[in-house]
Structure 1
Amino acid sequence: MSWWWRCLRTAVRHAVLEQARNRLALALVVFFVPLWLWLAYRVLPDTPVRFFLRAAGHPVSTGANTVTQLSGALHSIALIVGFMMFLATSRSTEFDRRLVTAGFPKVCLLLAKNTVLLLSAVLTGSYATVWLCFFWRPERLDVMVAAFAGGALTYGGAGILLAAVLRSELAGMFLVIMVSFVDLGLQNPVANPAADSPLLRGLPAYGAMQSAVSASTGTLTPWHQLLLSGCWAVALAMAGPLVLTLRGGRWRGTLTLLKRPGGATGTGRNAAWRLRHPVLSLIYRRAGITDPALVTGYEACRRLVRSSGPMEIAFTQLISARVRPLFWAMYGYVRVIDDLSDDTGDGDQDRAARVSAFSLALEADLRQGRSSDPVRGALVHAVWTWNLSSEGLASANAVFRMDAARQTEFANWDEWHTYWDTLAFPFDVSRPTALLGAPGLFLAPRDAEALRRWNHAFNLIDCLGDLHQDAENGCIKLPATVLGQYGVTAEDLRLKQPGAQFATMVHALAGQAREWLGQAASIGAQHPPVAVAFRTLVELQHLELRRIERNPQALLDGRRPPHPVRFQYTLLRGRLRVARAWQRHRPTGSVTTAVLPAPRPAAADHGPRTSQALLPPAPHPGGAVPPALSGRRMPQHVAIIMDGNGRWAEAQGQVRSAGHHAGQHALRDVIYGALEIGLPCLSVYAFSTENWARPAADIETVLSVVSSGLDMNTEELWRRDVQLRWSGSTDDGRLPAELVDRIHRTTRATRERTGLILNVCLNYGGRHELAHAARALARQAAHGGLDPDRITPRHLARHLYQPDLPDVDLLIRTSGEQRTSNFLPWQSTCAEYLFLDPLWPDIDRTHLWAAISTYATRDRRLGTTK
């Protein structure tokens, strides 16, 4: 039953929106009714007209202008409401049929139309009565409203009936005009001296006209005439849907399809949601979000925004609807993880564990391209769809873990700025800022800095509003220098005894926020809609600052909402200005979106696993130990081109095969060094697609050495915490089947290990890998699953050999050669390069440590400036 009521509410909402789109009818109601009343009052004389009023049972004498006003008001209401219902019913017929065919209850649609008809009749009747009171006051206002509403109901039902019979809008308009003209013209005693004729009692507007005149001249309630008007209204209102149903054969037999939620098809549920939320549905369609699961996640994020505060709601309402879901998803992520870190129900360790689990799950979801959690799923979709950089997520998650452990303290304003910039822009401010633009409109680089200043002001105001709550949690998010300057402590704030300097501190901080807002006023100089939006946000923040400055002591009583009237008025005015700005600068492009390819499922894995306990890496023969590096200085992915085996063997007076065996020992020692220093991922270039041009004996030796190194029973490396990955082509069939099988067995056996990921690039070529990804995208586009014009770099990266590995931070090549040789070109676009002179067999773990130490000293700006 609850599903049925939800469908009814949906149908009513859709019917109301359908009426609201008829701007001509709304304009006629607003302007035509008072104009008709004014003309009738000014043009016609007030000469008494005597006629028999059957509602009163005796003759009455009423001014000609008064009777004409009543007749004209009824005529205009009947005409407008009748045509409104005709137009709305005619235009929605085919759509309603599709809904019913999909399983939507037909009764809901019929009741919705009659509900909207009743609502329209009451509103227009009340509106006409109000205007009538400007000229003279009827004796019975309630009867007057009922009379006007009865006439509107009657002709509204006639409009539905005509829509079931006619298909031409012009024909429907003509019939509504003519029928109402004849009916109301004969009811007016000024135009028809025989208006009291018994024959007129059969006309639809007779009861309404009699009731209206009775309300203007007497105090009795004309029950019979009101009942007559109601009967006409009910009869016509029922006749229209009945004829509509009889004419629509496809509607028959569908009444019982949707009595419960389980009986609805997916199409019916989606259509019902679109009807309940037409504006949101349009926003999602423009953003390319059609998957119901994704819509559920975005809706969860949107509800989090609405429950956060008026400023968050105002921000999302002022920005372009094209990118609104993106900001819902980003804010939803921040809100969820912030709530986890602020939860006061558990201890610091439990909070930190929950935050860590959420952040790790999010990072894994971003690598896979999807998530089972609604909020994380929306964020992952947003990051992939809008091609956001997620490099700042790790730092943001680390800050939230500090919050959860109650370790957030700021010594000065610099630390405070860094904290809020890390949380506010985990995806790099430049990309979301660019998405706010449109063809012909853009945000300059200085706008990004102004946006940071606005964010600082926003967060400072937010900190002031949360002073008492932060004091209760023992974590004041204001610089210690400010608190110390005014002698304010967290304990004083918790006890609501901040001292005499508290008000001075609040005023000083409010002044600082005003200064930042002034610096943010230049946002959008080349983008008028965004400029208007942020000016509105600045005005709203000034309202909040004025409230704070008037009563600083109230901050200790908790957060208070802004003044509702001023805030909503300012927001409404700003939204209207933003809408006008977009009309003048309407974008012609569309936001870059695409349907995400599903991640490649993990292969069924029932291979052998090692049951032995994993050993620590073997120590360096010379006793060397790795240098101490901070986590931030440690690269996440190091790639090595192992070059010089053959030249090393020739220099030693040995055959080339000896160089390959020596290179295997060097690789084992480097892997041990990577384990000791804590390197997460290491990629090595074992054999390239170009190496097939070498002599057959050399190729056989290399593949034999690789095969022996993959033997789980003899190779001591696999007794350590090393997980094997393979990047390379299998399409050409060149690799021996036994070698490929051994690679797969070792990969399966080590898949659960968490120490070092060893990515062996065997039969690998960077161009081959990109061609492989391009072919996968082309197949999706050919099958209609992907729009070629909306492919982002993330979509191509998803089809690389190992898409979940991080990009290469440091690429090393030995033997003095200074080229990359088609090695990981996509992954190494932002890598630091280091070329070493020693040949590969002469390399050991100390060279790796030295290279990582050199990497730690480099200033990695990645295209930006400090």
Structure 2
Amino acid sequence: MRAVLSRAAIDDPALRAAYLACGRAVRAADPADYALMRLMPPEVRPACWALRAATGSHVAAPTLAAPAGASPGGDSPGGRAGTGTDPATDPVRTALADCVRRWNLNPQELHPPPDSADGHGHGPATWQQWRTCARQRRRLLWLEQVLLVLSRHGVPVYGWLLRQENFESGLHLTDALAYLSDDITRGRLTLPAEVLDAFPTAAPALLERRWTPAVHALVAHLAGQARRWLRRPPLAHPGLAVLLRTTTRLCLARLDAVEAAGPALLHHTPRPALPVRLRIVTPAQALAVAAWRIAPLTAPPAVRGPRPSAAAALIPAQARHDRTGVPAPRPPLPHHTGVRPPRLPAGRMPRHVAVIMDGNGRWATRRGLPRSEGHRVGAQKALRDVVHGALEIGLPHLTVYAFSTENWKRDLQEIAFLLHTIREDLNGEAGAKEWASYGVRLRWAGDSEGLPTDVVEDLARGERATRHCTRLTLTTCVNYGGRAELTRAAARLARAARDGDIDADRIGTGEFTRHLSLPDLPDVDLLWRTGGEQRTSNFLPWHATYAELHFTDTHWPDVDRRDLWRAVTEYGRRQRRYGAVVSNAQPS
């Protein structure tokens, strides 16, 4: 361990002691995770120890935001890390503070969101909702941050992982099965309702810790599903290939232990036996050493200057909080004229408005300005005002077309500015922080293939930083094309049918929707395009099948919330028939 700290340029004696304490705690609590960390380059292993130790200790949220000196509850790997009374002497908090500073991590991203269960033991309804919740589970947040560190230092893994949905789900499902007893202790089931419904008596039996035939069948079914998802996709980087292969083999061994545990699964966390782990990990360690020599990672330089206190490095400034510990959202900013939103009957309000923000370049050209100026004003002025207008009328979903797959045909400077605007004003760290303060959840729809790695990271970071927000969901379509989305969904369906996960003869619209990029995105009620053009331009073809269309001549930089309110008011006057005949006396 001490040699690893030297490779990582950690020289301060207090920091070395803190990192060593984290490493020992992780090794005692989860030998399999610790073994996987030994396949990482030495420069990043101390970060692995600190991040993994924090996910099991009182340092993790909500207590990252706790006042200094607080002593919240929670167990750390191998027991409590530190005294829990003084953050300055807590080794986990000390190491994590240095890790955040050294690797330029965002401490807000170490906060897991509120529990996905509803307090009555009920988890998500569908597999896709389960996937979304599983990505936010506390136990694997450490791994996500480590992959981000690797990606920032030349190892192309972060964007790659975002595209491996099934493999990622296999990791999460294996983790959920192994820690099933922990969830039962908390009186919750985080498994999706659609699979529990197939085993009707399993859920109550699980919560009562009764091992019944239905529970046995459910566990076997889920273990089989995890094995199918864990089919390893190809990966070019040699060090990551070793890590991925070993991770897969350890997960399969963990699933074997889950199925062999029987009734003990409901009381304890099963782990592969030591000889099994050694057979998997020992040869991998030699391969990993050789692989990282071929493609080494460079550690960041040693952090100089006064070391900040652990509390100061980790505790973000807090605003008012609601009962869940999440900062209460601020009210939307009023319009500069003081105009108030119209009163819209609930039955006449759309749930989802999608906007093609057209006319930025023409607006700038007519004023003798570079086209980039139109994009800047459109993002910093028009979009911000429209979002605040959406908040004022209580619109739940707003989706905007920011960068299409066809936009790659534009001038390179304009493309660079568009992507810069998306990063800085929409989904970057500053933009995400601003939107979160108003209760806006950021999401991204599109293809990561072809996008610069830093853009992909910022888009994903914006999603993570705002995942707890519920007032408005703002979905930004970046590198998005409707036909491409449908093609990818068809490919996923074909692979699922080939692997026996679904019956090809029983595929319907619901099954197809579940294989889209954002399957929980509701259908578009109102599709609004600015700029004078009257076409939908390959935008959300599946979701907008029955959308009401609204076209306006105003170029996007001249738009504000009043245009949104007019569009929504016009929508409320229309009758939506969906192919049926609606009586004139019965407005729809």
Structure with larger Rg: 1
* Structure with the higher fraction of residues in helix conformation: 1
Flag the structure with more relative contact order, 1 or 2, with Cα contacts below 8 A and sequence separation at least 6.
2
TM-score interval (norm. to shorter): 0.3 to 0.5
Q: What TM-score does the superposition give when structure 1 sets the normalisation length? A: 0.33
